[in-house]
Amino acid sequence: MISRDRIAALRATEEDRFAELHPRSAELADKARGPLLAGVPMPWMTRWPGRFPLFFESASGARLTDVDGLEYVDLCLGDTGAMTGHGLPQVADAIAARARTGITTMLPSADAVWVGEELARRFGLPSWQLAMSATDANRFVLRFARHLTGRPRIAVMDWCYHGTVDETLAVLDGDRVVPRPGALGPQVPVAETTAVVPFNDLDALDRRLAEGDVACLLMEPALTNIGIVLPDPGYLDGVREVTRRHDVLLVIDETHTLCAGPGGATAAWGLEPDFVVVGKPIGGGIPCAAYGMSAAVADRLSGPMLGHEIDVAGVGGTLTGNALALAAIKATLSSFLREEDFAVAIPLAERFTDGVAGVIAEHGLPWHVQRLGCRAEYWFCPPPRDGAAAAAAVDEELEGLLHLWCLNRGVLLTPFHNMALFSPHHTADDVDRHTEVFGEAIRALL
Ligand code: PMP
Q: Could you report the per-residue pLDDT of 71-83, keeping only the tens digit for each?
A: 999 999 999 999 9
Rounded Cα gap, residues 270 and 14, in angstroms: 46
Q: How far is the CA of 201 from the centre of ligand 1 (A)?
A: 23
Q: Is 408 found in the same domain as 329?
A: no
pLDDT confidence of residue 286: 97
The ligand 1 atom at the shortest distance from the C-alpha of residue 138 is 10
Domain end marker among 335, 366, 394: 335
Q: How far is the CA of 414 from the centre of ligand 1 (A)?
A: 14
Other CB atoms within 10 Å distance of the CB of residue 420: 32
Q: Is 200 found in the same domain as 75?
A: no
Does residue 1 have a pLDDT over 80? Answer: no
- Does 163 contact ligand 1 (Cβ within 6 A)? yes
For residue 186, what pLDDT band results from cuts at 50, 70 and 90?
very high
Q: Is 139 found in the same domain as 27?
A: no
Single out the residue of 388, 399, 377, 418 nearest to residue 181, CA to CA.
388
Domain end marker among 295, 317, 335: 335
Q: Is 326 found in the same domain as 235?
A: yes
Q: Give the residue, out of 161, 218, 257, with the most ligand 1 atoms within 8 A of its beta carbon, to mutate for a pocket test.
A: 161
ipTM field: 0.99
Looking at the structure of the chain, the number of domains it has is 2
The ligand 1 atom at the shortest distance from the C-alpha of residue 160 is 3
Query: Contact, 332 vs 284, CB < 8 A?
Result: yes
pLDDT confidence of residue 83: 98
Say what percent of the chain tops pLDDT 70: 100
Q: Is 276 found in the same domain as 299?
A: yes
Q: Is 82 found in the same domain as 93?
A: no
- Does 434 contact ligand 1 (Cβ within 6 A)? no
Q: Is 313 found in the same domain as 272?
A: yes
Query: Contact, 181 vs 392, CB < 8 A?
Result: no
Q: What is the mean pLDDT of residues 91-100?
A: 98
Supply the CATH number for residue 264's domain.
Answer: 3.40.640.10
Q: What is the mean pLDDT of residues 433-437?
A: 98
Domain end marker among 286, 311, 335: 335
Q: Could you report the per-residue pLDDT of 96-147, keeping only the tens digit for each?
A: 999 999 999 999 999 999 999 999 999 999 999 999 999 999 999 999 999 9
Q: Is 180 found in the same domain as 55?
A: no
Q: Is 93 found in the same domain as 82?
A: no
Q: What is the mean pLDDT of residues 372-395?
A: 96
The residue range of the domain holding 383 is 4-86+338-445
Rounded Cα gap, residues 376 and 219, in angstroms: 19
Ligand 1 atom 1: residue of nearest CA = 162
Amino acid sitting at position 181: P
Q: Is 375 found in the same domain as 354?
A: yes
Q: Is 270 found in the same domain as 367?
A: no
Q: How far is the CA of 193 from the centre of ligand 1 (A)?
A: 20
Ligand 1 atom 4: residue of nearest CA = 162
DSSP code of residue 293: E
pLDDT confidence of residue 425: 98
For residue 417, what pLDDT band results from cuts at 50, 70 and 90?
confident
Single out the residue of 88, 83, 109 nearest to residue 327, CA to CA.
109
Q: Is 379 found in the same domain as 260?
A: no
Does residue 304 have a pLDDT over 90? Answer: no
Supply the CATH number for residue 363's domain.
Answer: 3.90.1150.10
Q: What is the mean pLDDT of residues 390-401?
A: 95
For residue 193, what pLDDT band results from cuts at 50, 70 and 90?
very high
Q: Could you report the per-residue pLDDT of 341-378, keeping only the tens digit for each?
A: 999 999 999 999 999 999 999 999 999 999 999 999 99
Rounded Cα gap, residues 97 and 352, in angstroms: 38
Mean pLDDT of the chain: 97
Q: What is the pTM of this model?
A: 0.98
The DSSP-derived string for 411-424 is: EE--TTS-EEE--T
